[in-house]
Chains A and B, each alone.
Chain A
Amino acid sequence: NAGVTQTPKFQVLKTGQSMTLQCAQDMNHEYMSWYRQDPGMGLRLIHYSVGAGITDQGEVPNGYNVSRSTTEDFPLRLLSAAPSQTSVYFCASSYSMSSGSSNEQFFGPGTRLTVL
């Protein structure tokens, strides 16, 4: 199992450019999510999905779009990049959203994005 994979690892964009951060998992997890991590701010939820075809907004969704056409993939799209979106982005997956036992989140290695 590769677990959760993310591409690219690093990206530099100019203000106004768009791009897609890729995320895939091979554990047949229902739940997938995107977080951004900024210094001193912890992990903030951007968007999440509880299954193919179902997505919802998290704490900081503005400027980002997601889709979930398959169980495995959950791409994050930046529509028009802004310097405030400079951050480290983590994709994560877990079996479900419930509070059941062993429902840990598996994180990808992250994408370090700089917007100039």
Chain B
Amino acid sequence: GQQVMQIPQYQHVQEGEDFTTYCNSSTTLSNIQWYKQRPGGHPVFLIQLVKSGEVKKQKRLTFQFGEAKKNSSLHITATQTTDVGTYFCAGRGGSQGNLIFGKGTKLSVKP
């Protein structure tokens, strides 16, 4: 079945450093979504990417969807302590499929 792999599992950075998490699917995706989960909280939607090669920005966050629609990345520039949490990607294989979540990347930021 469809699998979504996400790396790294953990990332520890100094405040001000950049951070990137990568997501790879075993099959072509119709879209990909990104979620953030703060410690002790629930996942919160960040963004959805649909088009091949799409790039979207939200302040210091940059999201990319690969040309083949099988991979995606989230890059945070100049991390802040408020960026702490676990970032999940979630891909949808078909036009009417369930979202398949990656295992997440847990980000910690040292002040």
Q: Which residues of A contact B (CB under 8 A)?
A: 33, 35, 40-45, 48, 58, 90, 92, 97-99, 101-110
A45-B88 contact given A90-B43, A110-B42, CB 8 Å threshold: no
In the complex, A104 Cα to B88 Cα: how many Å?
A: 13
The 3 closest A-B pairs by CB, nearest first: A42-B103, A104-B45, A99-B30
In the complex, how many angstroms separate the beta carbon of B88 from the nearest chain A beta carbon? 7
Residue B68 CB within 8 A of the other chain: no
In the complex, A40 Cα to B105 Cα: how many Å?
A: 9
Q: Is B102 touching A42 in the complex (CB atoms < 8 A)?
A: yes
Residue of B nearest to A91 (CB): B42
| Mask: chain B, 9-52; 1 = CB below 8 Å from A; 0 = not | 10000000000000000000011010100000111110010100
In the complex, A40 Cα to B95 Cα: how many Å?
A: 28
Which chain B residues numbered 69 to 111 have a C-beta less than 8 Å away from chain A? 88, 90, 92, 94-99, 101-104
In the complex, A61 Cα to B8 Cα: how many Å?
A: 28
With an 8 Å Cβ cutoff, the count of chain B residues facing the other chain is 26
Q: Is A42 touching B43 in the complex (CB atoms < 8 A)?
A: no
In the complex, A116 Cα to B89 Cα: how many Å?
A: 32
A97-B103 contact given A43-B43, A90-B42, A90-B43, CB 8 Å threshold: no
Q: Is A58 touching B31 in the complex (CB atoms < 8 A)?
A: no
Enumerate chain A residues within 8 angstroms of B31, measured Cβ to Cβ: 99
Residue of B nearest to A112 (CB): B40
Residue of A nearest to B29 (CB): A99
